[in-house]
Amino acid sequence: MPSSSKVQEAREALGRRLREIRKDSGLTARALAVLAGWHESKCSRLEHGRTPPSDVDIRLWTLHCDAQEKAADLIATARGIEGMYVEWRRTERAGLKNAQEAVLPLFERTHRFRIYQSWVIPGLLQTAAYTTAVLNTIVNLRQTPDDVADAVAVRMERQHILRSGGRRFSVLVEEWVLRTVIGDAKAMAGQLGHLLSVAALPSVSLGIVPLGVSRGSGWPVESFTMYDDAQVNVELVSAHLTITQPSEIHEYATAFNELAGIAVYGAAARSLITAAVDSLR
């Protein structure tokens, strides 16, 4: 599955495009460096994806290679690559409330959500107590500003889209998420009860991937959310990835379908949730 290594692959692909443009122009790497006023090693670093090109780098490259008509597309590609991988610390530097608010436009314009969670209950299905416990953990781990109460309020308000009509939510959760106590037993029991209620909504399809099931090709992967067929957000330990390349989005769609194929639904899913509730007692 795509991860931070995909960012490097994208940088290398951009570097190959730059090298092709240079070769088509008839310039050697050394000659181009002289024309651009760079150290002679810079062309090699850019062409091998070791150094991400700035807007100015791309404009100089295309200028001296007589390919200025390609500058805008190359700049957009480079900016997209740099936006793929964002450290959580950078996202949360201004507080957790801002991080929650930042995704509101994306949620509002999405009609089909496909959500897979191998870590925690998905945010759209969380209770206030469960969200508070999750965000308190983030504050402690990442030393972010403590505006948990405000961030929880934003997340709870965001859940109105579950009942706003015109949207579908396909949610897959690993069974061990149901068994992982976040907060305390009381908060976890409340969360599991809420999960049963939300799963009954017409807009929500909840699947649980059971423990002990033969995985086949539905191997557990990093948690991710698909927003229509336009974007995938992937949760890593230190950062999140934004995937917009159609081929990579297709990979996540395939993974989601494989996981959905081994999940259980309806009465079987409710049975796993109630069993998790009983285990808390």
- Write down all domains in the chain, each with its CATH number in brackets: 4-84 (1.10.260.40), 93-280 (3.30.870)
User: What confidence category does residue 152 fall into, taking pLDDT thresholds of 50, 70 and 90?
Assistant: very high
**Structure confidence at residue 87 (pLDDT):** 59
Q: Report the greatest alpha carbon distance in the chain.
A: 74
Instruction: Write the pLDDT tens digit of every residue in 58-101.
Output: 999 999 999 999 998 888 788 877 766 665 566 666 678 887 88
Query: What's the confidence (pLDDT) of residue 138?
Result: 82
Share of the chain above pLDDT 90, in %: 65
CA distance 8 to 1: 14
| Residue 241 DSSP SS3 | strand
229: pLDDT confidence band, cut at 50, 70 and 90?
very high
pLDDT at res. 239: 66
Structure confidence at residue 238 (pLDDT): 61
Confidence of residue 9 (pLDDT cuts 50, 70, 90): confident
Rounded mean pLDDT of 174-194? 97
pLDDT > 70: percent of the chain: 93
pLDDT at position 22: 95
Asked whether residue 41 carries a pLDDT value surpassing 50, the answer given is yes
pTM of the model: 0.75
Average pLDDT over every residue of 168-189: 97
167, 112 contact by CB (below 8 A): yes
- Quick check: 198 pLDDT over 90? yes
Q: What confidence score (pLDDT) does residue 88 get? A: 58
Q: How confident is the model at residue 195 (pLDDT cuts 50, 70, 90)?
A: very high
Q: Which tens digits make up the pLDDT trace of 107-141?
A: 999 999 999 999 999 999 999 999 999 998 888 87
Closest CA to 158 of 75, 208, 225, 68: 225
DSSP state for residue 264 in the 8-state scheme: B
Question: Is 118 strand, coil or helix?
Answer: coil
Q: What is the DSSP string of 195-224?
A: HHHHHTSTTEEEEEE-TT---TT------E
pLDDT of residue 235: 84
- What pLDDT score does 146 carry? 78
